[in-house]
Chain A
Amino acid sequence: DAKTTQPPSMDCAEGRAANLPCNHSTISGNEYVYWYRQIHSQGPQYIIHGLKNNETNEMASLIITEDRKSSTLILPHATLRDTAVYYCIVRLVLGNEKLTFGTGTRLTIIP
């Protein structure tokens, strides 16, 4: 079973910041938070991952709460191409642990 909880859908206006929440209250100390997105009829795309510090890359920022029980993915200036299903996943980094996908959040960017 997936270890994360996400809202099923969200809308965001084009050009605004999209903030996608994720709850992972049972996360263990050696598990990372990963975010992927899947655009219709394509394979998932890696976005970002983190352990406990906030992370930023060219695609997004990841904010993890101090207790690590929840996190937020931020797309700073959403475009229509960001419309996709976003998956928040917790997993170990060491080894080759499989990724277990939940239902994700369907993000729709509104023109």
Chain B
Amino acid sequence: GAVVSQHPSRVICKSGTSVKIECRSLDFQATTMFWYRQFPKQSLMLMATSNEGSKATYEQGVEKDKFLINHASLTLSTLTVTSAHPEDSSFYICSAQFRAGAFFGQGTRLTVV
């Protein structure tokens, strides 16, 4: 099956700093990737759709200036959480479309202290 690699798996940062999360499709090219956020005991919530070579499409209520998404190549999308605050602490997950399915990364646990 298709493999999506997400890095880092866990990160702790200080409030006010920025954190970059990478999502790579290892054995296929993905023109579209998705970014989700998941709070404890809740389901995945879509944050944005990332399209290679164009601007991301953000879901309602997601601040595009705070969550910067770059999809510069067919195998890499990045999510940068800018000026992170404790309320941004969450589990961030990316996925990439491949043929008839969407495949997910391992997730990144972000803790802002």
Measured CB to CB, the residues of A under 8 A from B are 32, 34, 36, 38, 41-46, 49, 87, 93, 96, 98-104
Q: How does the 8 Å CB contact mask read for B72-113 relative to A, with 1 for contact and 0 for none?
A: 000000000000000000010101010011111111010000
CB distance A104 to B32 under 8 Å? no
Which residues of B have CB within 8 Å of A49?
100-101
Q: Known pairs A36-B104, A99-B46. 8 more at Cβ < 8 A?
A: A41-B91, A41-B109, A42-B107, A43-B4, A43-B107, A44-B93, A46-B101, A101-B44
B43–A99 contact, CB under 8 A?
no
A-B contact pairs, 13 of them (CB 8 A): A34-B101, A38-B44, A42-B106, A43-B4, A43-B105, A46-B102, A46-B103, A49-B101, A96-B97, A98-B34, A101-B43, A101-B44, A103-B43
Chain A residues positioned under 8 Å from B1 (CB to CB) = 46
Q: Which residues of chain A come closer than 8 Å to B109, judged between CB atoms?
A: 41
Bound Cα distance A46, B102 (Å)? 7
Q: Interface size (B, Cβ < 8 Å)?
A: 25
B49 at the interface (CB under 8 A from A): yes
Chain A proximity of B76: nearest CB distance (Å): 17
Distance of A79 from chain B, by nearest CB (Å): 20
The contact of A102 among B34, B36, B43, B105, by CB within 8 Å, is B43
User: Residue on A with the closest CB to B57?
Assistant: A98
B25 interface residue, CB < 8 Å from A? no
Contact A41 B46 (CB under 8 A): no
> Smallest Cβ distance from A30 to chain B, in angstroms?
13
Question: Do A93 and B106 have beta carbons less than 8 Å apart?
Answer: no
What string of 1s and 0s marks CB contacts (under 8 Å) between B1-29 and chain A? 10010100000000000000000000000
B31 at the interface (CB under 8 A from A): yes
> Taking each of B6, B91, B93, B104, which has the highest tally of chain A beta carbons within 10 Å of its own beta carbon?
B104
